[in-house]
Amino acid sequence: MTHLRPIEPGSRQRARLRFPPRSRALTALVMLLAALAPRLAEAADLPAPSQRLASDATPAAPAWSLSVDPLGVAFGAYGLGLERCFASHHGVWLSAAWEAEAGPSALSLGLGYRLHPLGRGVEGLLLGLSFEAALRAAPATPRLELGLEGGYQAVWRGLLLGLTLGVEHQIAPPPQTSPWALRVRLALGWAWR
């Protein structure tokens, strides 16, 4: 309720509205709500929670990957790796590389098995066993290696990035130094279903 003071005739005073204290508090509350209205509207537009149930089928894991080893390129080994996962836990890995290191060039071919214990296809933790053969132009003796490795591969929107560490044992020809060597591979490529 507003109260008006009577104005004397001939005075230069203006009529002033006076609000009771309760009305001032109510006015402040309305102004605060008007200021917060856009924020409250944004909060109401939040996405709905997922309707996915535990019994729903999980999305298919990436089953194929094609990658290169940029770390190998830095050392003169230009290679390409292809992996195919079966049943999201077991994978077959194939590689082909051209090694242009010091000495005669060689064509290297590899075949391996990879276990993916997390069951997400080519993505995630991996343990592998591989066999590689390198054929040099001269001397014409193939180099045979057996390798054991472990690593992790991440897939984001089809882009694959992985790192594997392991050891390799040169079977033939007998090396002049230790037959054991450290193996480091960096994988950069694509993964798909």
Q: Which domains does the chain have, with CATH numbers?
A: 64-192 (2.40.160)
Which residues of the chain fall below pLDDT 70? 1-22, 40-46, 102-103
Number of Cα atoms under 13 Å in the Cβ half of residue 145: 24
pLDDT in the model for residue 48: 72
User: Is the pTM higher than 0.85?
Assistant: no
pLDDT in the model for residue 76: 86
23: phi then psi, degrees, rounded to nearest 5? -70, -35
Place of tokens 């290696």: 145
Q: What is the CA radius of gyration of the chain?
A: 35
Query: Exposure pattern of 94-123 as b/e (b: 16+ CB <10 Å)?
Result: ebebebeeeeeebebebebebebeeebbbb
